[in-house]
């Protein structure tokens, strides 16, 4: 699993602190540096980084955190843009923020295609295993096959759905019976601003 920007900043703070002072920061110093409200938030970051093999921590000792060598981690990951939110429910505006990035495993990224990541908002794709708060990895493309999960923009708003073509319409299907498909009749196509901007290739999930 990749690191979010905040998780990477947390890791870098610990690594740089150890390099400067010769020992790890205390949990209070981490909490104060990032303006976190509780030590529980600090511990969640530490537990996640430890599960990822980036930290070693002896929980019964103060300043006992050790940073693992990240050279192999960097070799196996690439950084792609994290572009805001996409609705797995009713469409919401996708706000591009090119200054925000996320490191993802390279096996998601094939060939010379462009890729981007989006935060998922909503539960309309829950039966396809895509949950609220997940980060989806997408290949940038304006073309997709029937049955592919796509990021589509409808009237300026982005949504994540399964694409279905028919002779009469383009349909964007949810994977949750509480939601209805978005149907764009070919006869009414001129009334819609519709385009496909990406296809799903994978997802990342944080338990923080």
Selected catalytic residue, list 124, 168, 195, 206: 124
Q: Are strands 194-204 and 77-87 parallel, antiparallel or unpaired?
A: unpaired
Tokens representing 32 are 């104060």
Which of 60-77 are b and which e, b meaning 16 or more Cβ less than 10 Å from the residue's Cβ? eeeeebebbeeeebeeeb
Which of 187-199 are b and which e, b meaning 16 or more Cβ less than 10 Å from the residue's Cβ? eeeeeeeeebbbb
**Cα distances (Å, whole numbers) of residue 101 to 16, 78, 87, 93:** 20, 10, 19, 19
Specify whether 124 is catalytic. Answer: yes
Q: Are strands 157-165 and 169-173 parallel, antiparallel or unpaired?
A: antiparallel
Specify whether 161 is catalytic. Answer: yes
Selected catalytic residue, list 31, 121, 139, 161: 161
Dihedral of the CA atoms 199, 206, 129, 194 (nearest 10)?
-30
Q: Are strands 115-121 and 77-87 parallel, antiparallel or unpaired?
A: parallel
Determine contact, residues 185/117, Cβ cutoff 8 Å. no
By annotation, the residues acting in catalysis are 124, 161
């Amino acid at each position: 699993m990749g690191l979010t920007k905040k998780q990477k900043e947390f890791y870098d703070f610990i690594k740089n602190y150890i390099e400067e002072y010769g020992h790890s920061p205390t949990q209070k110093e981490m909490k104060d540096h990032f303006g976190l409200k509780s030590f529980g938030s600090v511990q969640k970051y530490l537990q996640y980084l430890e599960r990822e093999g980036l930290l070693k921590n002896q929980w019964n000792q103060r300043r006992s955190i050790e940073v693992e060598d990240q050279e192999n981690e960097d070799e196996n990951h690439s950084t792609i843009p994290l572009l805001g939110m996409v609705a797995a429910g009713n469409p919401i505006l996708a706000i591009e923020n090119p200054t925000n990035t996320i490191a993802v495993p390279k096996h998601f990224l094939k060939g010379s295609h462009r890729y981007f990541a989006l935060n998922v908002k909503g539960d309309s794709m829950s039966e396809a295993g895509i949950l609220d708060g997940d980060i989806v990895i997408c290949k940038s493309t304006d073309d997709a096959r029937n049955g592919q999960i796509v990021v589509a923009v409808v009237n300026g708003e982005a949504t994540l759905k399964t694409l279905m073509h028919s002779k009469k319409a383009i349909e964007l299907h949810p994977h949750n019976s509480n939601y209805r498909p978005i149907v764009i009749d070919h006869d009414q196509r001129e009334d819609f601003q519709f385009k496909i901007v990406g296809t799903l290739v994978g997802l990342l999930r944080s338990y923080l």
